Structure 1
Amino acid sequence: MTRNPGPSRPSSPPRPRPARTAAAGLVVLLLAACGGPAGDPDPDPATTEQESDVALTNPVHDGNLPDPFVLRAEGAWYAYGTQGRLGTMPVLRSDDLVHWEVVGDAMPTLAPWTGAGRHWAPEVVELGGRYVAYYTAMERETQQQCLGVAFADAPTGPFVDEAEQPFVCEHDEGGSIDASPFVAADGTPYLLWKNDGNHVGVRSWIRVQQLAPDGTALVGDAPVDLITHDQPWEGHLVEGPTVVERGGRFHLLYSANDYGSADYGVGWAVADALTGPWTKPLDAPLMRSSPDAAGPGHGCVVTADDGATWYVHHAWPPDAVGAAYPGRQMWLTPLDWDADGTPVLDGPSATVDRLP
């Protein structure tokens, strides 16, 4: 979710599942200094004498960056997040997914339909030769959160939305938030989002609808409902969707429960077609709060250069209160897959036993 929980102390985290990083303290990895991309095996065994100590320590960005989304573009990684001190659409850059530098504000000029503040959860995709950002903002006329679409020639922006009306806004269902573009293996683009039902006391759904090839319009008469909150741990909402197509099936990772508490977590649903039917094989979240981090969720899946998958998400220190609360920071958690295709998402852990 995108509303800022503020400096109040989150509730005590539930008991976590065992994390893969069993050792306390810093887990050290050896990377060949003259090897290929991080995580790839060194093509020349002779260079192992030049190895140096490298470690992945979370959070990978310790500033406030709620609802992070990471894009691979132009030979680098770009991370976007909810509005904060870095601007309306904060953007960071990295060469390795671990070390990040702040670029600035990717959307300095607001769209005509929006009001200042409450710009949330941007996600970016390259369509039709441009970078397309789907984002959530407050509609000035109704004060509801709605979806906008903005365009840029570079991943760092500036993204421009000249529309007089939102791209999507389900006013009768509380508004629309948490847009997530997805391009299927056959090249067809889609948009997932959530109706903000919990905002007005009605049921929230994660939905999907096909996009035009350039991302400028929706295709078809209506979206398709995928999942809702029907498990006890999910509380009164589902949100923050991201889809992975793997092994001929579609995997939906989503967040649920109260974004500002340690009950927030990441769930999983699976389907043979993007439009469903979807099932939730587990009755518990894939990832929940741990002693290292509270409220993990609202992230995206990225594939590193070595083919390994990672879940980029936000979380915050469980014991941080008052002025010590740093906001929701960006974390990197390994996403593994069992032989039967079940995702494994342990943690979040402050140290990770491999690098991207």
Structure 2
Amino acid sequence: MVWLLLSMLTGVGALAGGGIPISQSGAATLAPPSAQVRTFSNPVLDANFPDPFILRAGGLYHAYATNGVGGNVPHAVSRDLVTWERSADALPTLAAWAEPGLTWAPEVIGLRGQFVLYYTARDQRSDRQCIGVAVAAQPAGPFQPVGKGPLVCQAELGGSIDASPFLDSDGRAYLLWKNDGNALGLSTQLFIQPLAPDGLSLSGAPTALIQNFQLWEGSVIEAPTLYKQGGVYYLLYSGGPFDSDLYAVGYATASRITGPYRKAAENPVLVSRGEVAGPGHQSVFSDGSGQPWLVYHAWTTGLVGDQVGYRSMRLERVSFGGGRMRVGGPTTSPQPAPRGNP
């Protein structure tokens, strides 16, 4: 909370310890790499950083989050995935169609020599949350919006949110998202659609993958994440009300990218425990050794909701194999640290 208060007053802060200079270009100036960190404890970023996504680019890891005191797309960088430092707003200017203040769940992918950012924002025309796209030469941005309107906007289905890009092993790129049906009392579904090679437009038609029907999911599933291992597609997602300790993570599997997907019998696989409440809005990335990790946010038990608490960024080791996803946690005790770089 101390970092959050300082950031609100100064606009600059250190994440997980230490100050950070911001250069005139807006890029973070990281200290030289130190000895390999052997252990870490969650949260790795003890500040409001909801809907986190981590991208490895070069020798750095870039984390992006839903709008807050860090701007439209708060951005932090790390060499070792344990100590994070804040950088400038990755998307300082929104598209003309978007209203400010509701920029959610950004994710970034590198395609054809540039970085493409997908984000959710309020569409002025439909008054629904819709998906936009922006590009930059560097992962830190600044990203520039592309197009005169949203990339995806299923207004009749409540809107479209939580865009997540996926690059398949054959080099084809796809975009996943969720219709915001719970905003209208409708069911929520996860969709997938092929992207153009540059990631700036869609091709073909969307395919609905799964929808909410299990008890733990309640009226919403969201935050799709796709991961492929051993010829199996693992579709991770979050379910339940985000501002409660019922929020949790589940997954489904398929042998084809468009399904059919079968939800895991053991869902949900990451749930509230001890001092950690409402873990979710996950994504998957690999560290310098190739080990996959789950990044997600969570509240502190007893401090759930934006009026009293905040969602911090956390990491858990995760494995995939034989059609099963295995994740420990949520953890708060010291754990073996990720391998930052080879």
Q: Would the TM-score normalized by the shorter structure come out above 0.5? A: yes
Three-state SS of the structure 1 residue aligned to 2:45 is coil
Instruction: Show CA shifts across 1:1-53 (max 9, x none).
Output: xxxxxxxxxxxxxxxxxxxxxxxxxxxxxxxx998x66xxxxxxxxxxxxxxx
Aligned mates of 1:193, 1:59 — CA distance in 2: 27
**Contact 2:245-2:304 at 8 Å conserved across structures:** no
Match of 1:246 in 2: 229
Match of residue 119, structure 1, among 100, 103, 119: 103
Residue in 2 aligned with 1:187?
A: 171
Instruction: Return the alpha-carbon distance in structure 1 between the equivalents of residues 68 and 155 of structure 2.
Output: 26
Structure-2 change in CA distance of 1:196 and 1:292 (3 Å): same
For normalisation by structure 2, the TM-score amounts to 0.86
Q: Look up the equivalent residue of 1:332 and give its one-letter code.
A: L
Give ranges in structure 1 of 5+ residues lacking alignment: 1-32, 39-53
Decide whether aligned partners of structure 1 residues 314 and 115 sit closer, same or farther in structure 2, where only a CA change above 3 A counts: same
Distance 1:322 1:333, change over 3 A: closer
Looking at structure 1, the residues matched to 84 and 176 of structure 2 have their Cα atoms a distance apart, in angstroms, of: 27
Task: Tell me which residue corresponds to 1:28.
Answer: none
Task: Using CA pairs under 8 Å that are at least 6 residues apart, name the structure with larger relative contact order, 1 or 2.
Answer: 1
Q: Give the CA deviation at 1:316.
A: 1.3
Q: Which amino acid aligns with 2:82?
A: V
The amino acid that maps onto 1:315 is: A
SS of the counterpart of 1:331?
Answer: strand
Structure with greater Cα Rg = 1
Counterpart of 2:39 (choices 44, 48, 55) is: 55
The 4+ residue runs of structure 1 with deviation greater than 6 A are 321-324
Report if aligned partners of 2:77, 2:84 keep a CA contact under 8 Å in 1: yes
Kindly provide the amino acid, as one letter, of the partner of residue 351 in structure 1: S
Is the aligned partner of 1:230 residue 2:213? yes
Q: Distance in 2 between matches of 1:230 and 1:85?
A: 36
| TM-score, structure 1 normalization | 0.82
Contact kept? 1:179, 1:192, Cα under 8 Å: yes
The structural deviation recorded for 1:170 is 0.3
Equivalent pair of 1:303/1:310 in contact (CA under 8 Å):
yes
SS of residue matched to 1:198: helix
Matched positions, count:
306
2:271 match: secondary structure: coil
Deviations 1:98-120 (A, max 9, x none): 11000120011111110111000
2:47 corresponds to which letter in structure 1?
A: G
CA–CA separation in structure 2 for the residues paired with 1:188 and 1:181: 11
State the SS of the aligned residue for 2:76: strand
Give, in whole Å, the separation in 1 of the partners of 2:107 and 2:126: 23
Match of 2:325 among 313, 330, 343: 343
One-letter amino acid of the structure 2 residue matched with residue 93 of structure 1: V
Unaligned runs of 5+ in 2: 1-32
Matched residue, 2:250: 267
Alpha-carbon distance, 1:353 to partner? 2.5
Matched, 1:130 2:120: no
Cα separation, 2, equivalents of 1:171 and 1:34:
49
Q: Give the deviation of 1:299 after TM superposition.
A: 1.5
Q: Secondary structure at the match of 1:117?
A: strand
Structure 1 distance, partners of 2:136, 2:320, is 35
Shift of 1:231: 1.0
Judging changes above 3 Å, is the alpha-carbon distance between structure 1 residues 105 and 34 closer, same or farther for their aligned structure 2 residues?
A: closer
Change (3 A) 1:321 1:268: closer
Question: In 1, are the aligned partners of 2:51 and 2:66 still within 8 Å (CA)?
Answer: yes
| Correspondence 1:165 to 2:146 | no
The answer to whether the 8 A contact 1:292-1:349 is kept is no
DSSP 3-state at the match of 2:145:
coil
Cα distance in 2 between the residues matched to 1:34 and 1:330: 22
Is 1:208 aligned with 2:192? yes
Does 2:310 match 1:327? yes
State how far apart, in whole Å, the 1-side matches of 2:74 and 2:304 are.
Answer: 24
Cα distance between partner residues in 2 of 1:218 and 1:352: 43
Work out whether residues 333 and 352 of structure 1, in 8 Å CA contact, stay in contact via their aligned partners in 2: no
CA-to-aligned-CA distance 1:165-207 (integer Å, 9 cap, x gap) = 1111001000000000000011100000001011101111000
- Say if 2:192 and 2:206, in contact at 8 Å, map to a contact too: yes
CA offsets 1:57-87 (integer angstroms, 9 cap, x no match): 1110011111000001121100000000011
Instruction: Report percent identity of matched pairs.
Output: 45
Tell me the distance in 1 between the aligned counterparts of 2:309 and 2:84: 17
